[in-house]
Chain A
């Protein structure tokens, strides 16, 4: 699986991490090495082997439908880089 510059750019966009044009090739190489190394897994016959759902051999516990949280807007907002009038603020999105 060769990662070319265009693929690196596409993955970087999916991950919302800016990778400058100049860095894409080198990064592609690094990622390629890792991906090439993990490809040895193809050697293993996994027919009829289920993917591990969880290493915990239990099923999902349920919680009671009771309000136990919230009413703490200050806590929720106090670390925000941008906030106003009780809202988080971000650069305006045009839909």
Chain B
């Protein structure tokens, strides 16, 4: 029986280990492309963001965009990786309609960033380190569309030449969950750094999954590569399907053919990629139109100095300083803007209460309306003000829910709403005592039943007093006074 803790899965012939390595292509946030002055934005009309350099015209030459170098170094630092002060650009030679030069400018033997690692957090609260093998800069290819015409494919070169960081992990992952956690953490780091927006649906972050299986202790199995998977959920599905596919083949007595596959998200299956059946000979050689890239270590240090606090460090700080659970901290640091929002609310207030309101009430509204934190109808300042009203007993937590709902609808401040609707909590014991006295007087029979042992009737009395005070009685005070009065 495979023990989940061993990260194995069960086949017909026993337990299997899945070995997973991920190659992520992340589009670099920059104004212009890696080697040309055309814009790198998404969504323009076809071929409107194309320089003759990107289109591989005769006589055109590449010149390296310094910002892209900076973004790669920043990312490398965020991955705790070695920055290679000397790196070289190589030509990767192959033919395809979306590759105008007939080669991609990439980095093969000497990438700009070397070995690093990131920590991933799993649902059971455990975490582990996943190694990064390398990160290099390379050109993106254009886009081909094969479904617009019966006999023609259409080519748009807007994306041709946009800067990509290829981030290669060590084959350290063993489950689809780990792969998902790795991608979430990587994406979070990239977004924190502002080096890639991590938007997989738009294609600014794409993942190739390398999957193989083996019996524990055996040598590595033959791996298959599943290319260009464009969501974390699909990556996890693809890995699970592919692992099962490979296990079945082997258990049936077959061998795995090393090949490149695609994930068909409609069917939830991987299938062979026709055009990649033949092994490519890329004939890498250093690009003679470019010179070796040499970085000044002092410059690398200035980049290090501009790094923001990254998710792991922020999470640690939230746990230590705000006494949050790791789970809550995780949720809050997933997005840098959410973390900033939270801190703005939590500073000088009950951090735990703030966390609850943000992760449960606010997120509930945002999710329902499909909004990001930047479009929140309630600002951090406004939420903070509301928490202050709870803290000084102006309103109860229960009333706060109503106030919050009103804030979301109207965008008004909490204080104004409380005043306008007269929601101030009643904390005057005299007023509550009067209300209690009235309820007791009107329900003598129930008072008798309560005093004779029917404890659950307490709730009835609470409800009645609340009703009588339009819900504004301070619950704690109500409770203690009611007990006193009912006791006789």
The answer to whether A and B touch in the complex, with CB atoms under 8 Å apart, is: yes
Q: Which residues of A contact B (CB under 8 A)?
A: 14, 16, 53-54, 56, 58-73, 75-77, 82, 84-95
The residue in chain B whose Cβ has the minimal distance to the Cβ of A74 is: B47
- For this complex, 28 residue pairs linking A to B, each with C-beta atoms less than 8 Å apart, are A53-B286, A53-B291, A60-B294, A62-B65, A63-B37, A65-B68, A67-B37, A69-B38, A69-B51, A69-B53, A76-B47, A77-B47, A82-B152, A86-B46, A86-B47, A87-B47, A87-B148, A87-B155, A88-B155, A88-B157, A90-B97, A91-B153, A92-B149, A92-B150, A92-B151, A93-B144, A94-B275, A95-B262
The reply to whether A90 and B153 contact each other, CB–CB distance below 8 Å, is: yes
The reply to whether A64 and B66 contact each other, CB–CB distance below 8 Å, is: yes
Contact with A along B189-223 (1 / 0, CB 8 A): 00000000000000000000000000000000000
The reply to whether B50 and A73 contact each other, CB–CB distance below 8 Å, is: yes
The reply to whether B31 and A66 contact each other, CB–CB distance below 8 Å, is: yes
The reply to whether B153 and A73 contact each other, CB–CB distance below 8 Å, is: no
Residues in A whose Cβ lies below 8 Å from that of B66: 62-65
Residues in A whose Cβ lies below 8 Å from that of B155: 87-90
| In the bound complex, CA of A73 to CA of B153 (Å) | 18
Contact with A along B276-300 (1 / 0, CB 8 A): 0000010100101011111000000
Residues in A whose Cβ lies below 8 Å from that of B288: 54
The reply to whether B39 and A87 contact each other, CB–CB distance below 8 Å, is: no
Residues in B whose Cβ lies below 8 Å from that of A59: 291-294
The residue in chain A whose Cβ has the minimal distance to the Cβ of B278 is: A13
Q: Which 10 A-B pairs have the closest CB atoms?
A: A68-B37, A65-B67, A62-B66, A70-B38, A69-B51, A69-B37, A87-B154, A88-B155, A86-B46, A59-B294
| In the bound complex, CA of A73 to CA of B157 (Å) | 10
| In the bound complex, CA of A84 to CA of B50 (Å) | 16
Contact with A along B258-288 (1 / 0, CB 8 A): 0000100000000001110000010100101
Q: A16-B95, A64-B66, A67-B31 are in contact. Are A94 and B45 (CB under 8 A)?
A: no
The reply to whether B37 and A93 contact each other, CB–CB distance below 8 Å, is: no
The reply to whether A70 and B154 contact each other, CB–CB distance below 8 Å, is: no
Residues in B whose Cβ lies below 8 Å from that of A77: 47
The reply to whether B291 and A56 contact each other, CB–CB distance below 8 Å, is: yes
The reply to whether A61 and B51 contact each other, CB–CB distance below 8 Å, is: no
Contact with A along B89-101 (1 / 0, CB 8 A): 1000001010000
- B156 contacts A by Cβ under 8 Å: yes
- B340 contacts A by Cβ under 8 Å: no
The reply to whether B39 and A91 contact each other, CB–CB distance below 8 Å, is: no
Residues in B whose Cβ lies below 8 Å from that of A70: 37-39, 48-51
The residue in chain A whose Cβ has the minimal distance to the Cβ of B286 is: A53
Residues in A whose Cβ lies below 8 Å from that of B292: 53-54, 59-60
The reply to whether A63 and B65 contact each other, CB–CB distance below 8 Å, is: yes
| In the bound complex, CA of A65 to CA of B39 (Å) | 10
Residues in B whose Cβ lies below 8 Å from that of A72: 50
Residues in A whose Cβ lies below 8 Å from that of B55: 76
The residue in chain A whose Cβ has the minimal distance to the Cβ of B283 is: A14
The reply to whether A76 and B290 contact each other, CB–CB distance below 8 Å, is: no
Distance (Å) between the CB of B187 and the closest chain A CB? 23
Distance (Å) between the CB of A57 and the closest chain B CB? 9
Residues in A whose Cβ lies below 8 Å from that of B64: 60-63
| In the bound complex, CA of A29 to CA of B61 (Å) | 35
- B167 contacts A by Cβ under 8 Å: no
| In the bound complex, CA of A66 to CA of B262 (Å) | 36
The reply to whether A14 and B281 contact each other, CB–CB distance below 8 Å, is: yes
Beyond A59-B291, A85-B154, A90-B152, 20 additional contacts (C-beta under 8 Å) are A16-B95, A53-B286, A60-B89, A60-B291, A60-B292, A62-B65, A63-B63, A67-B39, A68-B37, A72-B50, A76-B55, A87-B145, A87-B148, A91-B152, A92-B150, A92-B151, A92-B152, A93-B153, A94-B146, A94-B275
The reply to whether A91 and B275 contact each other, CB–CB distance below 8 Å, is: no
